Amino acid sequence: MLRYVVERLFLIFLTLFVVLTINFFLLRLMPGTPFDNPKITPAQKELMVRKYGLDDPVGVQYLRYLNDVLHGDFGVSFRLQDQPVTKLIAMRLPHTVQIGSMALVFGVVVGILLGALAAIYRGSFWDGFVTILAVIGVSIPSMVLAALLQHYVVAEWGMFTYLYNPIDATRGISVWDSLYSSILPAFSLSLYVISATMRYMRSELVEVLNSDYILLARAKGLNKTQVIMRHALRNALIPVITIVGPMTIGLLTGSLVIEMFYGVPGLSRLLLNATSQNDYFLILGVNVFYSFLFVTVILIIDLLYGVIDPRIRLRGGKS
Amino acid sequence: MKKILVMLLVLAMVFSLVACGGNNNEPNNAPNNAVVNTENEPANTGDTGNTEEPADTTPAEPKVLNLLESSNIPSLTTWQATDSVSFLILGNIGSGLYTLGEGGVPVADIAESVDISADGLTYTFKLKDADWSTVDGEVYAPVTANDFVFAWKKLLDPAEASQYSFMISTASIKNGKEAVALNEELIGYEADVENLETMDPANYEDTDEKTAKQQYDEAKAALEEKIAAEEASLTETYGSIDAAYTALSDLRDGLGVTAVDDHTLVVELSNPVPYFIDLMTFPSFFPANEAFYNEVGDSYAKSNDAFLYNGAFIFKEWKISERHYLTKNPNYWDAENVALDAIDFRVIEGVSNDTAVQMYLDGEIATTALSGENVEKYGNRPDMVPLEDVVLFYLEINQGKGEMTTTKQLLSDVRARKAINMAIDKTYITDVIYANGSLPADYFVPKGFVGSAAHDNKDWRQVAEDMYGGGEGYNHYNPEMAAELFGAAMADLGVSEVEFELIIYQGDTAAQVGTHIQNELEKNLPGVTVIVQALPFSEKLKRSDEGTYTLNWGGWGPDYPDAMTWMDMWVTGGGHNSTGYANADYDAVIEATKSGDLTAPEKSGERFEALVTLEKKLLEEDQVIVPLYQRSGVGLRDPRIMNWFRQSFGPDIIYKWVDLAQ
Amino acid sequence: MSVNKDKFVLVQNKFEDVDKIETQSLTFWQDAWRRLRKNKGAMFGLAMIFVLIIFAIAAPMEPFVPNNADGTPFSYKKAPVLFDEEGNEIAKEDISFVPPRIPGIEKLGIFDGFTVIERGSWDILIGNLPKTTEWDALKSPLKRKDLIAALGIPYHPFEINFIDMFKKDGVNFAKVKVLATGEIVELPYADLISEFTRFQDGTFEYVSSEVDDKGVEMIKINADYYEIQNIKNLYFWFGTDKLALDVWTRLWTGVRVSLLIALASMVLDFSMGIVYGTVAGFYAGTIIDTIMMRFTEIIGSIPMLVFMIIMISLIDPIETFISGIFPNITYTTVRLLIIIVAMSLTGWIGVSRVVRAQILKLRDQEFILASRTLGASKIRLMQKHLFPNIIGQLVVMMTFTIPGAIYYEAFLTFIGMGLPIPMASLGVLLRDGYNSIQTIPAMLLIPSFIMSLLMLSINLLANGLRDALDPRMR
């Protein structure tokens, strides 16, 4: 087990290294410099490029950057007052996490409940209803949903808020205000989570309910509620956990539209701005961070799954 | 029964979740309902500042202005800032010799008095007693003449690579102007030398006429010749290349600005600059404290506590992407005349206009601009304010920059260029697409931008009207004439079909304007196909620099209040001239009005007329560009706000003047 | 009760019938189709997809689209050229930005050229004054008396509040409250307005009026845009946008383009993913597989936006390269290709993972082993055994990819990286509609509805396919 983890950690390290390298060189293929501004003359731009050492051969710059990274320095943003990239990411992350985690919790809970409902009453009206709901949930594009929610729910009905409000004591925005303002963005994000969880939960629970041990439990005289509560739900939930990981990554990295509509100062927005301004180190930083999230979450799931399901652990140990 | 139990359980859980969301309803409705936000902490930051208590028994509510900002601050260092957000903040937390008042008139800020020599070449400023304040409102040191010298020299410091060093050149400060020019020359030379080293025959391909080798040799010879010429010119002036570098650093050190004593600053100019005092309001010319700069080192201006404040406000809280919070500076020399206690910017990147308007209507912010549909919906409310602007949008016509093509050849014919201007219905852009009071333009120097004292303070456009009937510009919309001119130009060249590449920025309205221009040109000019290319910012800039375009949509806002900021864009080989337009007569007039004999103070009227005539040449005779529209806007503003003076250059608003009626 | 014995016949035991299969033998696809047909949702989806595709193909073409004055059909990129009764060309301004209006259906109260808008009372009663200094001066709050005198109206809009409007003897009357005196006055609406307002008598129905927090009266009206713009004889089925382009034509062209992009990127995703996944699956456990899988992670980390910006900057060489193979390639097509390639940049990775996992699973199964023992070549193994076993799942995945791709195109448009101008797509229409939501919500609602319907139909079909092709998931 330990060896497996060490091996995986090594692979993670290797992957991140390669991601960093590829992205570093790829970004230099982008046209222009971080200092493009129609007002300034080419000579001034050239001076700026020299100041940040961007005129050195790319290989030299790469080694320099790599050296910095090994010392924990991911460079500075050229377009935001030379602020360290790590600081900028650290400032943005909490907002993305706040919205994302709300969406995840809400989505998974509702998804599991609806999925269970559909499985228990399989073939009934409720089953069909929930299935249709799930399909509709994934069929409404998020920008349409966000636009309609803002126009009708907020503007016409006066419920919830237009914008996400970060917690700010001096402005009088408490944790609760902030959470309240996160409801619409989180809801918009959670539709996909609900649909996916629900579908998964339903099929898992159906399979469990058809299994022999449930039959046995029923035969032993337990009533249906007890069987579902004690045996079936718990067993059906295990596989559902596996899709939570990828969904978490999706929520943390794929919320750009929602961030744009609700004014969330999140990571995706930062990446978009950095990309349009050729802010190399910032793009690189956010990207490597995304890759880091991706590989670690996958690792955690694999480990967790091993803990939950002994069969997997055995297989993992072998490889 | 059991079924129902399970179902109830499930439903209960779902509803409990929904209810959780609903419970938090109340706290949100309470705050932020008023522009004057009483819940904010009291704005006085120092306890010693105001000893004068109001006569009333109850102290007045703090006056807080809530505003919306859609971008972050790229730089707070005066010699690094290049954008409007930075300038807005800097212009209010710092102060220079002058600041902009009502109607864009410079008002003395730290300058107590100024003595201008008769030839207009030496300015002697006496400074007021003013202090630097820390973020906590403590006095750090007095503002001295030396602080100006320090900050201005930073603009030229090669280690700082200041992008706005051209402001020194614009102000024609002695040795500074020469240093900027020499620097450009040397960098151009270095770049050429480097290009020569990295030239590779592999980058050339055989064509029908020439082999790769031939092309490479030609290009190499041309470059070598260029370098030799540059070397010769430098050697002639300075003796050798190395001497030129020494000369550059001497020029930098010898910048014509000196601190005679703590309260006297002397500035020497290379030639008279009619708008020199106006320039002193620009944040690039603000002072900085050298001792503090050395004390905080690298972190200078990277956070609000690594900065000193000598302006009307202190940057109390700087949360990137969330909040810019300015409070009144108790140590500002004119603090008693600053009405606002705080300015609270909510920072939301790329906020939609609908949201901003809604925030205004809900009282969360004190003013907002209107765009798109909202202009129509709210444009005639009593709290509507016009937002007049002096930014002009135009199409650059490529008449020969870059590799020659048939299209460029066609456009080097002035008839074809005039036809393009006459073929576009600009009113449609301003009245239907923008519908926000923007003005269709056949002119280049915007309305309401600059007047002439020698012409009874008449506006530029009025003078143009009096002189040439060009109040509304030249070569107006006339599709029939356009088709005729264009047809003639095409016939002379012997082509029947051409393809135009129109490059624009990415964006909704840009796309609409681009499509409109495409429709108009294809409809009114026979044989034209227009390809609209929406490009990322850097790519568009690159294309215009290289000259690989036909029509380039651009916009220009002034850097200083003189028509020169517009007119000198089109000099031969100018950094902003990507049209390939080269006209010695044009250059001569620019030379005379910029640094030649027309700059003398007594010739201001003559100079003004020379520039008006030059605009006529630029448009009516040569049609170098196609002006499209002068941007303008409308907004909503809380009627209680007073003295809100929008400025046409530098910081948008000087909040020092702004007051809130109670 | 008695039962007639004759009704019973003894069935003989026929031994030879035991092995006989009574029902018709079904292939895999026949069986799947049988199951799919039973799925109402999937059939609805399939039918809707057909309808939408037919519309997408036919609607922008003659004779299903209105015609310009010269007889040519409306185009998605050119404003219509139409003549009024006197034969003069109608100005582009007059036919720009009008709500949907469909003959026949308009009688039902929808698609009738009306739209509910909210306007300040000044807009309704006075409108936009000419831009002259005299009129500008009169706008000042201190000159209210002079203004109403100059316009010849009884009240300044800020001095009255609307209470109601009604029809009396065929004349529209307004019931207003005079704020200064508090009295309630009824007078013909026509007397209340200036000549400059767009909202002349008979161009709208009054809905309600509200004084907001800032003391400004906002009046909600149901405005007849065709009457206001004086084009009552025209019908724009889905309205027009600000450039006077016909939305009906643009919408269906847009559906066409969106579907085309989605299909193209799907083909790209799957052809690459299948090949890559198969190879990786075959070498599973070896170093080749490890490298290949790490490679996908790296490709997955390339930021799509950066990739697109680079591609756009390389568009000239790309265009030259492609025109070497296909002459006459246009800039628009190349931009389109770039979007498709950018969308597939990471899309194929998921496919290759699934293919690899399936092959891994199947590889160790007995029937493969049997076939291999019998000497089947690798190619034969793939063709005859592996591929047929994963095709079902692939078809399901393919179907699920399409709505994703349609959404992705819209997403790219929203962040400003979308289609070349003036091309239409669902994303472009959504964005335009979003900008018009205040005035003509139909501009957003129609493309939203079509896009949601399209995605819903494909999702329903995909769901059905999954149930039909992949019985375990039921």
CB B78 within 8 A of CB B288: yes
Higher pLDDT, B442 or B166: B442
Closest CA to B78 of B174, B165, B143, B180: B165
- Predicted confidence band of residue B50 (pLDDT cuts 50, 70, 90): very low
Computed over every residue of chain A, the mean pLDDT equals 85
Of C109, C420, C90, which is closest to residue C240 (Cα–Cα)? C90
Q: Which residue segments constitute the domains of chain A, with CATH numbers given?
A: 87-268 (1.10.3720.10)
pLDDT given at position C471 = 57
Strands B257-261 and C114-120 come out as: unpaired
Q: Write out chain C residues lying below 8 Å of A290, CB-based.
A: 301
Cβ separation A36–B24 shorter than 8 A? no
**Inter-chain touch C437–A147, beta carbons under 8 Å:** yes
Mutate to test the interface with B, among A28, A77, A81 (most CBs of B within 10 A): A81
According to the model, what pLDDT value does residue C21 have? Answer: 63
In the prediction, which pLDDT does A308 show? Answer: 67
Alpha helices (H) in B500-646, listed in sequence order: 508-524, 537-546, 564-567, 584-594, 604-616
Query: For residue C246, what are the β-bridge partners?
Result: C240
C72 close contact with B: CB closer than 8 A: no
pLDDT of C470 > 70? The answer is: no
Nearest to A91 among B320, B344, B349 (CB): B320
Is the pLDDT confidence value at B76 over 50?
A: yes
Q: What burial class does residue C310 get, using C-beta atoms within 10 Å of its C-beta: 0-12 exposed, 13-18 middle, 19+ buried?
A: buried
How much is the mean pLDDT over chain C? 85
Taking the Cβ of residue C158 and every Cβ of chain A, the question of whether any pair is shorter than 8 Å is answered with: no
| Backbone phi, psi, residue A194, to 5° | -60, -50
Which three-class secondary structure state does DSSP give residue C152? coil
- Please choose, from the candidates B207, B548, B504, the residue with its C-alpha nearest in 3D space to the C-alpha of residue B404: B548
User: Any bridge partners for residue B635, and if so which?
Assistant: B369, B385
Cβ contact B260:B195 at 8 Å: no
Find chains touching chain B: ≥3 CB pairs under 8 Å.
Answer: A, C
- pLDDT for res B43: 37
Looking at CA atoms only, how far is residue B370 from chain C in angstroms? 13
Backbone angles phi, psi at A50, to 5 degrees: -70, -40
Look up residue B118 and give its amino acid. A
For A144, the closest of C294, C310, C448 (CB atoms) is C448
Any idea which of B23-27, B382-386, B504-508, B530-534 has the lowest mean pLDDT? B23-27
Round to whole Å and give the CA distance between C96 and C245. 7
Question: How confident is the model over C59-74, as pLDDT tens digits?
Answer: 888 878 888 888 888 8
The reported pLDDT for the residue numbered C10 is 72
Q: What is the mean pLDDT of residues B178-194?
A: 87
Are the C-beta atoms of B580 and B399 separated by less than 8 Å? yes
**What's the token pair of residue C391?**
């095709």
pLDDT higher at B239 or B607? B607
Asked if B156 contacts B254 with a C-beta cutoff of 8 angstroms, the reply is no
Say what the pLDDT of residue C3 is. 72
C166-176 residue pLDDT tens? 888 888 888 88
Is C375 a residue whose pLDDT tops 70?
yes
Helix C387-414, helix C28-38: angle, nearest 10: 50
Q: Which residues of A touch C (CB under 8 A)?
A: 11, 14-15, 18-19, 22-23, 26-27, 29-31, 131-132, 135-136, 138-144, 147-148, 151, 203, 206, 256-257, 260, 271-272, 275, 283, 287-288, 290-291, 294-295
* Contact status, residue B594 vs residue B586, Cβ threshold 8 Å: no
Beta strand segments in B193-291, E? 257-261, 264-268
Minimum CA–CA partner of A40 in chain B: B163
Contact B135, B304 (CB under 8 A): yes
Instruction: Please tell me if residue B452 touches chain A, with a CB cutoff of 8 Å.
Output: no
Of C255, C249, C239, C351, the residue nearest C300 (C-alpha)? C351
In the numeric block, which tokens belong to residue C229? 């713009």
The complex scores an ipTM of: 0.86
pLDDT at A310 over 70: no
Mean pLDDT of the region C257-285: 90
CA distance C223 to C114: 5
Chain A to chain B Cβ contacts (< 8 Å): 167
Name which of C355, C338, C371, C194 is nearest C289 in CA terms.
C355
Q: How far apart are CA B351 and CA B368, in angstroms?
A: 11
Sort out which chain B residues have CB atoms less than 8 A from C309's CB and list them: 536, 538-539
Residue-level pLDDT at A239: 75
pLDDT at A314 over 60: no
Residue B441's pLDDT band (cuts 50, 70, 90): very high
Instruction: Specify the pLDDT at position C16.
Output: 67
C78 touches chain B (CB under 8 A): yes
Enumerate helices (H) and strands (E) in chain C, giving the number of each: 17, 6
Dihedrals φ, ψ of B113, to 5°?
-155, 165
Angle, helices A42-51 vs B176-198, to 10°: value is: 70
A289 band by pLDDT with thresholds 50, 70 and 90: very high
Share of chain A above pLDDT 70, in %: 95
Arithmetic mean of pLDDT, C257-273:
93
User: A48: which 2 tokens?
Assistant: 């700026």
Q: By percentage, how much of chain B surpasses pLDDT 70?
A: 91
pLDDT in tens, B592-642: 998 888 888 888 899 999 999 999 999 999 999 999 999 988 999 998 999
- Which residues, numbered 380 to 399 in chain B, qualify as contacts with chain A under a Cβ-Cβ cut-off of 8 Å? none
C-alpha A169/C-alpha A171 separation (Å) is: 5
Nearest to C118 among B377, B501, B548 (CB): B377
| pLDDT at C194 exceeding the cut of 90 | no
* Whole-angstrom distance, CA of residue B339 vs CA of residue A305: 64
Q: Mean pLDDT for chain B? A: 86
Task: Grade residue B452 by pLDDT with cuts at 50, 70 and 90.
Answer: confident
- Provide the whole-model pTM: 0.87
Report residue B329: phi and psi, to 5°: -90, 110
Dihedral (Cα; B175, B178, B184, B186), 10-degree rounding: -90
In this prediction, residue C293 carries a pLDDT of: 84
Distance CA A317, CA C188 (A): 89
Kind and range of the H or E element at A85?
helix A85-120
**Nearest CB to B361: which of C212, C243, C313?**
C212
Structural domains of chain C sorted by starting position, each given as residue range(s) with its CATH number in brackets: 99-228 (no CATH), 247-473 (1.10.3720.10)
The neighbour count for residue C19, using CB atoms within 10 Å, is 6
How many CB atoms are located within 10 Å of the residue C316 CB?
Answer: 12
Residue B237 pLDDT exceeds 90: no
Which positions ≥6 away from A295 have C-beta within 8 Å?
Answer: A12, A15, A16, C297
Contacts of C303 (CB under 8 A, 6+ apart): A23, A271, A275, A283, A287
**At residue B81, does pLDDT exceed 80?**
yes
Q: Is the pLDDT of residue B35 over 70?
A: no
Chain A: touching chains (3 or more CB pairs < 8 Å): B, C
How do residues A212-244 score in pLDDT, each as one tens digit?
888 888 888 888 888 888 778 878 887 777 788
pLDDT at B88 over 90: yes
Tell me, what's the pLDDT at C17? 67
Residues from chain B that touch C90, judged by Cβ atoms under 8 A, are none
Cα angle value B385/B311/B175 (rounded, 5°) = 105
Task: Flag whether residue C364 sits within 8 Å of chain B, measured between CB atoms.
Answer: no
Structural tokens at position B60: 């007045």
Residues making up chain A, counted from first to last: 319
CB contact under 8 A, A135 and C305: no
Dihedral angle computed from the Cα positions of residues B50, B56, B57 and B60, in that order, rounded to the nearest 10 degrees: -60
**Does A177 contact B538 at a Cβ distance shorter than 8 Å?**
no
Token pair 């003509």 is found at C440
B518 with C422: Cβ contact below 8 A: yes
Region A181-192: what's the mean pLDDT? 91
Give A316 or A158, the one with higher predicted confidence. Answer: A158
Alpha-carbon distance of B349 to C277, in angstroms, equals: 41
CA pair distance A35, A278, nearest whole angstrom: 8
C123–B380 C-beta distance less than 8 A: yes
By the CB < 8 Å criterion, does C217 face chain B? no
pLDDT at B549 over 90: yes
Q: What is the rounded average pLDDT of the residues A194-207?
A: 87
Contacts of C237 (CB under 8 A, 6+ apart): C66, C100, C101, C102, C111, C246, C247, C248
Q: How far is C218 from chain B (nearest CA, A)?
A: 9
Whole-number pLDDT of residue C289: 86
Q: pLDDT of A56-67, one tens digit each?
A: 889 999 999 999
Q: Is the pLDDT score of B314 beyond 90?
A: yes
Q: Which domains does chain B have, with CATH numbers?
A: 392-630 (3.10.105.10)
